[in-house]
């Protein structure tokens, strides 16, 4: 069977090219072997399902593994204890029916008296006593049930039995693993209509799950090697793995998607593609192809949905993406909005600050927020801007910046500073987009520092790459530091010419432009 890069469901070695996750798996197995109860809460398409499948395959010969999922079970099961408790035991038996029918029948024989959580607890004790092996319970998609009091009581029952087991006074599952997006350690519930939202901790017995399920460059390399050996493809494995990680920060779905684009789509879209020799240009192409605005995935749909459904999260992410807050935002896992952003895979900690998890998401979110502004809020009155800035099939960035200066002077000179501090960068992106569109591509480079700056990289045609830094004027000292930062970033991109767009909110500001020689760089600066 021809293998492929997989971006949906379980990854299977015989069918898919896979990252070697053996080190991560060993860490999970260590928790199970020590009898820990824990939750694997990670974002959608972050490798949970593949990890759970690997756990099942390994544990099946070592113990009795009861593997369930709350996905697709309907809502009535969670209405009350009388519905939930006997149905859960039926699910126990069903999960074992195919490969362990005798154990499934044992469950059904003991099941006759289960009618509520108390009798469910008694059933678990009897069942574990009667079998001759350890029993591990794994429940996937627990988010389905995690917003009601019944689930809190269910977890509390597990907690009580666990504590009694540790004192030698009860029999229960050796390990319980819950998997989902949300962290069940702190459930936010409204128990009755009109009640205040409360935070409960029914799962405070759980061990911390600190397994890093993102892929580092060395792990990404294992998948590239696997693919290259099977398909006789030449690669600089280390360089390509680093570049993939640069764009994805190791988000499993995005890592596979970057590779899948190259393997399955680039030949039809890029005339320079050599299927027998992957290069850094191929990785760059795949990033641009993945983040184009006419394309979406269920993963990106969920990303937008999670922002739409939480106003506070949207505001926080907007401030991070467009560098609105001075000195950045200090990361705190105790902040419920920051924590929610991390649970959804949108936010992370970087250098002690709140940051967007990866460059792909940064680009998708910037495009989404810019488009949202146009479709819902009337946009920024940008009319008639086209590709009239080309010179010998190159973009004339000097001319673009001077035209934007003219545009800002005409349309936004009477706007207050607070509006422009929040919206100015987005105005420029909306201005630049129709100019670049078609023959080029622009993306926003993540910046996490004390400097309120934003880097935009523009590619045009086959050979042109430009860097435009957007920053707020805060005096000459910060200006000089900003020039150094821009120079360093130009070195990273391998170019000697850069551009600086300065937003000056002083009342006596001048709309000026100047050519600056800094270190070995030529920088064209425009103030608006």
Q: Look at residue 356 in the predicted model and tell me its pLDDT.
A: 94
Break the chain into its structural domains and give their ranges.
22-200, 217-290, 383-528
Is there a contact between 255 and 230 (Cβ–Cβ < 8 Å)?
no
For residue 197, give the DSSP letter: P
Phi/psi at 265 (5° precision): -125, -25
pLDDT the model gives residue 477: 85
- Angle (nearest 5°) at CA 473 between 468 and 479: 75
Residue 334's pLDDT is what?
84
Strand-pair category, 440-445 with 453-460: antiparallel
10-residue mean pLDDT profile of the chain (528 residues): values are: 90 94 95 95 92 91 92 85 94 94 94 91 96 94 79 90 96 95 62 48 85 97 97 97 97 98 94 94 94 89 95 92 70 89 94 92 92 70 60 83 89 75 83 82 71 79 88 85 88 91 85 93 94
pLDDT one-digit tens code per residue, 18-57:
999 999 999 999 999 999 999 999 999 999 999 999 999 9
Instruction: Return the structure tokens found at 65.
Output: 């593994």
Q: Answer whether CATH 1.10.4100 is correct for domain 217-290.
A: no
pLDDT score for 387: 52
| CA dist., res. 69 & res. 350, Å (int) | 34
pLDDT at 170: 96
The SS3 call for residue 47 is coil
What is the pLDDT, as a whole number, of residue 255?
A: 98
The pLDDT of residue 325 is 64
Which has the closest alpha carbon to 127: 103, 143, 149? 103
CA atoms within 13 A on the CB side of 448: 17
Rounded CA-CA distance 339/328 in Å is: 17
Q: Is 475 helix (H, G, I), strand (E, B) or coil?
A: coil
Q: Looking at the structure, give the CATH architecture of the domain made up of residues 22-200.
A: 3-Layer(aba) Sandwich (3.40)
Exposed, middle or buried by CB within 10 Å (0-12, 13-18, 19+), for 57? exposed
Which element (helix H / strand E) includes 513? strand 513-518
> Closest Cα partner for 485 from 508, 516, 462, 518?
518
- C-alpha to C-alpha distance for 430 and 437, rounded to whole angstroms: 11
Burial of residue 402 (CB within 10 Å: 0-12, 13-18, 19+) is middle
Rounded to whole angstroms, the maximal C-alpha distance in the chain is 85
pTM of the model: 0.88
Q: What is the pLDDT of residues 367-393, one digit of tens each?
A: 899 888 777 656 665 655 555 676 657
3-state secondary structure 224-267: HHHHHHHHCCECCHHHHHHHHHHHHCCCHHHHHHHHHHHHHCHH
């Amino acid at each position: 069977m021809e293998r492929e890069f997989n971006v949906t469901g379980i990854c299977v070695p015989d069918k898919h090219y896979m990252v070697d996750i053996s080190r991560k798996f060993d860490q999970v197995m260590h928790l199970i072997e020590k009898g820990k109860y824990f939750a694997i809460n990670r974002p959608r398409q972050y490798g949970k399902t593949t990890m759970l499948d690997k756990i099942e395959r390994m544990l099946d010969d070592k113990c009795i593994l009861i593997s369930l999922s709350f996905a697709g079970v309907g809502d009535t099961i969670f209405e009350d204890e009388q519905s939930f408790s006997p149905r859960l035991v039926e699910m126990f038996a069903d999960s074992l029916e195919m490969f362990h029918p005798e154990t499934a029948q044992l469950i059904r024989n003991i099941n006759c008296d289960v009618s509520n959580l108390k009798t469910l607890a008694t059933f678990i004790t009897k069942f574990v006593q009667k079998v001759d092996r350890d029993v591990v319970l794994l429940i996937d998609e627990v988010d389905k049930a995690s917003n009601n009091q019944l689930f809190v009581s269910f977890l509390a029952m597990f907690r009580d039995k666990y504590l009694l087991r540790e004192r030698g006074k009860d029999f229960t599952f050796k390990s319980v693993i819950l998997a989902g997006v949300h962290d069940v350690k702190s459930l936010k519930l409204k128990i009755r209509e009109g009640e205040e939202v409360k935070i409960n901790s029914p799962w405070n017995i759980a061990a911390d799950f600190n397994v890093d399920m993102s892929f580092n460059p060395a792990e990404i390399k294992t998948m590239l090697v696997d693919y290259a050996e099977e398909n006789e493809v030449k690669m600089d494995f280390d360089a390509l793995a680093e570049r993939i990680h640069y764009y994805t920060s190791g988000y499993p779905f995005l890592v596979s998607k970057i590779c899948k684009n190259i393997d399955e789509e680039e030949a039809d879209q890029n005339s320079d593609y050599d299927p027998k020799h992957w290069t850094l240009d191929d990785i760059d192409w795949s990033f641009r192809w993945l983040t184009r605005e006419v394309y979406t995935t269920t993963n990106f749909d969920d990303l937008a949905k999670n922002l739409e459904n939480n106003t506070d999260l949207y505001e926080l992410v907007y401030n991070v993406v467009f560098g609105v807050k001075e000195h950045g935002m200090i990361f705190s896992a105790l902040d419920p909005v920051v924590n929610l952003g991390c649970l959804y895979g949108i936010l992370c900690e970087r250098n002690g600050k709140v940051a967007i998890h990866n460059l792909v998401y940064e680009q998708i979110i910037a495009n989404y927020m810019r488009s949202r502004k146009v479709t819902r809020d009337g946009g920024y009155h940008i009319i008639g801007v086209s590709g009239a800035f080309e010179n010998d099939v190159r973009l004339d960035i000097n001319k673009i910046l001077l035209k934007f200066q003219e545009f800002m002077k005409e349309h936004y000179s009477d706007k207050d500073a607070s509006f422009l501090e929040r919206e100015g960068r987005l105005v420029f992106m909306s201005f630049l987009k129709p100019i670049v569109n078609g023959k080029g591509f622009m993306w926003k480079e993540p910046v996490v520092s004390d400097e309120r700056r934003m880097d935009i990289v523009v590619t045009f045609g086959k050979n042109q790459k430009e860097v435009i830094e957007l920053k707020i004027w805060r005096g000459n000292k910060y200006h000089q530091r900003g020039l150094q930062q821009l120079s360093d970033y130009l070195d990273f991109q391998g170019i000697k010419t850069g551009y600086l767009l300065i937003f000056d909110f002083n009342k006596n500001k001048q709309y000026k432009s100047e050519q600056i020689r800094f270190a070995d760089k030529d920088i064209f600066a425009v103030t608006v």
